[in-house]
């Protein structure tokens, strides 16, 4: 089974859209470096964090050599936060991993290291493909993402998914 290594941005966005639990219905394992889980998921309550762990989120403590590598990446790439570099190192050292991030500088660096990366829209596509979640909930989340200036998703892709889902829901009435 492939493992999704998450930074905090995608989880925060999915939480805003009410879709955080839905990702655990996907055919993947999930992991996140401990500093991100503890320091960056501020909008997610302790109860919801416990739900993430109960649903299968592995909170990983990086060994010293991985922390050193992350610090090297951070020193070489000041557009990144150190915590982002922890997620990158975890993805880089985990077989069959996918880095789950919306952070563009992090994605760019991961791609130079040939690490597969995906973000929120990919996760929504996967949720639609692999779960039976109410499509109206997905549409509501997409609209919320479109209207929220703090959610930075590609506008054209977001609009296309909204149109496609509206049409699908209308056709199924």
Question: Does 68 map to a domain?
Answer: yes
Q: Do 140 and 62 sit in the same domain of this protein? A: no
pLDDT at 83: 94
Q: Do 18 and 74 sit in the same domain of this protein? A: yes
Structural domain total, the chain: 2
Question: Does 83 map to a domain?
Answer: yes
Q: How many CA atoms lie within 13 A of 11 on its CB side?
A: 23
Q: Do 87 and 149 sit in the same domain of this protein? A: no
Distances (CA, A) of 153 to 9, 12, 25, 121, 157: 11, 13, 23, 8, 8
Closest CA to 101 of 114, 113, 118: 118
pLDDT at 173: 73
Question: Does 25 map to a domain?
Answer: yes
Question: Does 87 map to a domain?
Answer: yes
Domain boundary among 120, 141, 160: 120
Q: Do 141 and 110 sit in the same domain of this protein? A: no
Q: Do 37 and 116 sit in the same domain of this protein? A: yes
Per-residue pLDDT of the chain (173 residues; tens, 9 = 90+): 899 999 999 999 999 999 999 999 999 999 999 999 999 998 899 999 999 999 999 999 999 999 999 999 999 998 999 999 999 999 999 999 999 999 999 999 999 999 999 999 999 999 999 999 999 999 999 999 999 998 989 999 999 999 999 998 888 77
pTM of the model: 0.92
* CA–CA gap between residue 27 and residue 126 (Å, rounded): 9
Q: Do 145 and 69 sit in the same domain of this protein? A: no
What is the domain-level CATH number for residue 25? 3.40.50.1010
Are the beta carbons of 70 and 86 closer than 8 angstroms? yes
Are the beta carbons of 119 and 100 closer than 8 angstroms? yes
Are the beta carbons of 73 and 109 closer than 8 angstroms? yes
Q: Do 142 and 97 sit in the same domain of this protein? A: no
What DSSP state is assigned to residue 24? G
pLDDT at 171: 84
- 59, two tokens: 């909170």
Question: Does 102 map to a domain?
Answer: yes
Domain containing 25: what range?
3-120
* CA–CA gap between residue 116 and residue 126 (Å, rounded): 15
Determine the 3-state secondary structure of 116 from DSSP: coil
pLDDT at 133: 93
């Amino acid at each position: 089974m492939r493992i999704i290594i998450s930074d905090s941005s995608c989880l925060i966005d999915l939480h805003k859209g009410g879709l955080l639990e839905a990702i655990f219905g996907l055919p993947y394992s999930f992991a996140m470096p401990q500093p991100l889980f503890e320091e960056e998921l501020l909008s997610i309550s302790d109860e919801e964090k416990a739900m993430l762990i109960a649903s299968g989120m592995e909170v990983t403590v990086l060994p010293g050599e991985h922390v050193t590598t992350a610090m090297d990446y951070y020193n070489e790439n000041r557009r990144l936060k150190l915590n982002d570099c922890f997620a990158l190192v975890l993805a880089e050292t985990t077989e069959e991993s996918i880095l789950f991030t919306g952070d563009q500088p992090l994605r760019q660096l991961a791609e130079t290291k040939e690490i597969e990366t995906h973000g929120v829209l990919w996760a929504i596509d996967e949720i639609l493909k692999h779960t039976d979640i109410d499509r109206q909930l997905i549409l509501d989340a997409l609209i919320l993402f479109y209207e929220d200036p703090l959610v930075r998703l590609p506008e054209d892709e977001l609009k296309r998914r909204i149109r496609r889902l509206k049409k699908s829901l209308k056709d199924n009435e």
